[in-house]
Amino acid sequence: MANGADPWYVLLPDGRTVRARSTRSLRRSVGNGRIPSDIRVRRRRDEAWLPLPRVPELADLVPRDGMAGNRPVRPRRRTPRPALQTLGIRGLVEELIKAVDSTLGRHKLIAAAVAGLVAGLALLTGVILPLYLSPDWRRAGQFGAAVVAIIALGICACWLTQMTYIELARLRPARRRELWAGLLRHTRRLVLAQLVVGALFAAPLVLLRWLTDAVVTPAVLPAGPWLDALRSFLLAVRLLTEVLGWPIFLMSLLLLGPLVVIEDYSVVRSLREWLGLLRQHLGRIYLYEALAFVLGVVISVPLLLPLGLAALRTLAARGLSQVEEATLTVLLGLALTPLCAYLLVANVFIYLNLRYEFYDRTRAPGR
């Protein structure tokens, strides 16, 4: 992994699988008796489980007589932070709750608020500015506003992903130079990857819409009962494509960030790994994203509720003017800051759980 992470995956005697974030944390946990020495470990999914005596970095932790025991522990001035993470669905729910605390940090909320404000103002400008431009320049203005919004959100996604990963992997706050390192490269790759996924999602819908319109044109095909049946079939296929495609498209926008930032993959490699994750864990990804969305909505309700009450009261009284509508649009973007920030942070936890979680329902072979 990028950024020098040093994870170990530990199979406990009771069959549970946990993750140690580094060799140092694993040695400390075995040395002070938090976990027994009769465990098995591995670094990657394609490796076999190994007992500690067969791992050079950890072999000295096992007593020579082969029996587990506790080593004397020198008193510490402070209690070390937990370094082990329970894996599986139960472990991920715990991690998503931890992600709430991680999201509500001041630096992450400020970054998300700035990005949301820039994107909201850009989109608002793309709506208002064309009213004062000639028809030839309206499309250009809308396109420019969309580009600014996409870049702002891409920078925010890379920034929050890098910040969250450094906090998890190194157990300390991220430094500013670490956040700036590779930011433009990651943003460029993330935006390109998301545009490719967006094009792959939109292409079938455009094709189906074109086919539906072509079918109902009398000049193309003669009218008849079978023509109505064909048109109904195309409409049903287009609706089914949208129902199935929207969740996958939204999940791609969130999961591509960790692939680009954490692994430092290229656009092509990120898309290939993303397709691999969907192929292997589509059901789990859907469940995890649904849980994350629910938690994100819960922490955003205190900001969305007064905004909704103000909008409903104004609509009931006299309707919204153009200035009020623009103001509410910007305020809505700011109110959604906790939700957007949480989804980005939570997907770092989700990705690490999917990529490096090797939960086995049965014990490892040979046990």
Each residue's pLDDT tens digit, 143-199: 888 888 889 999 999 999 999 988 887 778 889 899 998 999 999 999 999 999 989
Percent of residues, the chain, with pLDDT higher than 70: 77
pLDDT, residue 334, reads 83
Note whether 46 and 143 are same-domain residues: no
pLDDT, residue 161, reads 94
Looking at residues 325-335, what average pLDDT do you find? Answer: 79
pLDDT, residue 65, reads 53
Contacts of 43 (CB under 8 A, 6+ apart): 7, 8, 9
What 3-state class would DSSP assign to 74?
coil
Note whether 121 and 212 are same-domain residues: yes
Note whether 176 and 321 are same-domain residues: yes
- 364 assigned to some structural domain: no
Looking at residues 330-358, what average pLDDT do you find? Answer: 83
Q: How many angstroms separate the Cα of 335 from the Cα of each of 24, 164, 332? A: 41, 21, 5
- Let me know: does 166 contact 178? Beta carbons within 8 Å: yes
Helix (H) or strand (E) holding 11: strand 8-11
Note whether 265 and 313 are same-domain residues: yes
Q: Which residue has the higher pLDDT, 261 or 252?
A: 261
Q: In whole angstroms, what is the distance from residue 318 CA to residue 315 CA?
A: 6
Last residue of a domain, one of 17, 51, 86: 86
- Let me know: does 35 contact 10? Beta carbons within 8 Å: yes
> Strands 40-42 and 8-11, how do they pair?
antiparallel
24-33, 256-265, 310-319 — which is least confidently predicted? 310-319
13-17, 102-106, 216-220, 314-318 — which is least confidently predicted? 216-220
- 363 assigned to some structural domain: no
Last residue of a domain, one of 86, 108, 135: 86
- 210 assigned to some structural domain: yes
Note whether 16 and 49 are same-domain residues: yes
Angle among Cα 162, 358, 4 to the nearest 5 degrees reads 35
Note whether 276 and 225 are same-domain residues: yes
Looking at residues 328-352, what average pLDDT do you find? Answer: 87
pTM for the full predicted model: 0.70
Domain range enclosing 277: 89-356
Q: Is the dihedral of CA 307, 312, 315, 317 positive or negative?
A: negative
Note whether 279 and 322 are same-domain residues: yes
Note whether 79 and 103 are same-domain residues: no
Query: Which one, of 90, 74, 76, 125, lies nearest residue 17 by Cα?
Result: 90
Note whether 31 and 131 are same-domain residues: no
Q: Give the tokens for residue 271.
A: 């898309």
